Amino acid sequence: MADGPGPQLRPEAGLTFPPGCAYIGSQFVPMSEAKISVLDWGFLRSDATYDVVHVWKGRFFRLDVHIERFLNGIAKLRMELPFGPERLQAILAECVRRAELNDAYVEMILTRGTSPTFSRDPRDAINTFIAFAIPFGSVANADQMTRGVNLHVSSIPRIGPDSVDPTVKNYHWLDLVAGLYEAYDAGAENVLLVDGDGNLAEGPGFNVFAVNDDQVTTPDRGVLEGVTRRTALELLAELQVKAKTAPLSIAALKAADEVFITSTAGGVMPVGRIDGVAPSADAPGPLTQRLTERYWAKHTDPVWSVGVDELPTLDDWRRDD
């Protein structure tokens, strides 16, 4: 038997959490109290799907599109949300209200959950829903938004679409995390992974676009079909700029006039360097600037956004049920 006392657990009070509100187990709790079982398949096996929508100046941006993608992912994974989209909207809005946030990052998650008998059969699991709202964050910080993000193209391929459907938003990020460390070692700030053919795929939580001779290209295979990616394509059409989803080679990316990335966490963000090489136009390039301005202008458009206070409360939903 070992001498002396065993290892002492650090008090949980020493942990820090962002301000915000979470919904789990049919209750709203502070972020510090949002917990799942260690036996949940979402934790044990990354068996989950999620989506993230943002709130800007008190308005959800493209909430309907995010919920549609979330529900499609749930169906593809053969899971079941325990309520309909109307109640989901009410829960997300209530998280934002209780967090008292005007600009927020709002996540909805459905995990495979736990099996009452700890069965290895996923059909036995009871799915777990979680949602939370925390302060809005961006892939690019304020300095990077001004000068552009410094990217590294990794030699690590993204998990192939024949193995994991990339249109289902997931937590399979070990390839992305390994790529990030490779980028840091190379002196870069973020990373792009390639697909199985050596063409560009995506980065950790963002899609990439290259502008070459007034033609915009974003990768078409092995990527999450990001809502901000979709929004950028729609806005480029409004600007009467030719844009396509197609294979994008590393050479074409590095020879681009402009490069930008897109994410719910930050919107349209300029790229300053790729493996030390700068695009032809200084970041942010002229098209990136035009697109960014139009993107944020849409946040007050009722066709594209909805106010937090315009959405039903849970009490309203219960009355209508």
Range picked from 51-55, 220-224, 313-317 for highest mean pLDDT: 51-55
With vertex at residue 127, the alpha carbon angle to CA 125 and CA 130, rounded to the nearest 5 degrees, is: 150
Dist. CA 114–CA 244, nearest whole Å: 42
3-state SS assignment for residue 3: coil
Question: For residues 30 and 21, is the Cβ–Cβ distance under 8 A?
Answer: yes
Residue 167 has pLDDT above 90, yes or no: yes
* Positive or negative torsion for Cα 196, 199, 202, 203: positive
Residue 9 has pLDDT above 50, yes or no: no
The band of 12, judged by pLDDT with boundaries at 50, 70 and 90, is low
How many other CB atoms are found less than 10 A from the CB of residue 37? 13
| Domains of the chain listed by start with CATH number | 17-135 (3.30.470.10), 142-300 (3.20.10.10)
Tens-place pLDDT, residues 288-306: 999 999 999 999 999 999 9
Mean pLDDT of the chain: 93
Dist. CA 320–CA 317, nearest whole Å: 5
Distance between alpha carbon 97 and the CA centroid of its chain, in Å?
Answer: 21
Percentage of residues of the chain with pLDDT beyond 90: 88
Q: Cα–Cα distances in Å, from 234 out to 42, 63, 305?
A: 34, 16, 15
With vertex at residue 259, the alpha carbon angle to CA 253 and CA 262, rounded to the nearest 5 degrees, is: 115
Tens-place pLDDT, residues 71-118: 999 999 999 999 999 999 999 999 999 999 999 999 999 999 999 998
Residue 173 burial class via C-beta count within 10 angstroms: exposed 0-12, middle 13-18, buried 19 and up: middle
Dist. CA 244–CA 222, nearest whole Å: 15
Report the pLDDT value the prediction gives residue 10, as an integer from 0 to 100.
44
3-class SS letters over 121-185: CHHHCEEEEEEEEEECCCCCCHHHHHHCEEEEEEEEECCCCCCCCCCCCCCCCHHHHHHHHHHHH
Residues of the chain by 3-state class (helix, strand, coil), percent to 5: 30, 30, 40
Q: What length does the chain have?
A: 321
More confident residue, 316 or 263: 263
The band of 32, judged by pLDDT with boundaries at 50, 70 and 90, is very high
> What is the per-residue burial (b if ≥16 Cβ within 10 Å, else e) of 205-230?
bbbbbbbbeeebbbbebbbbebbbbe
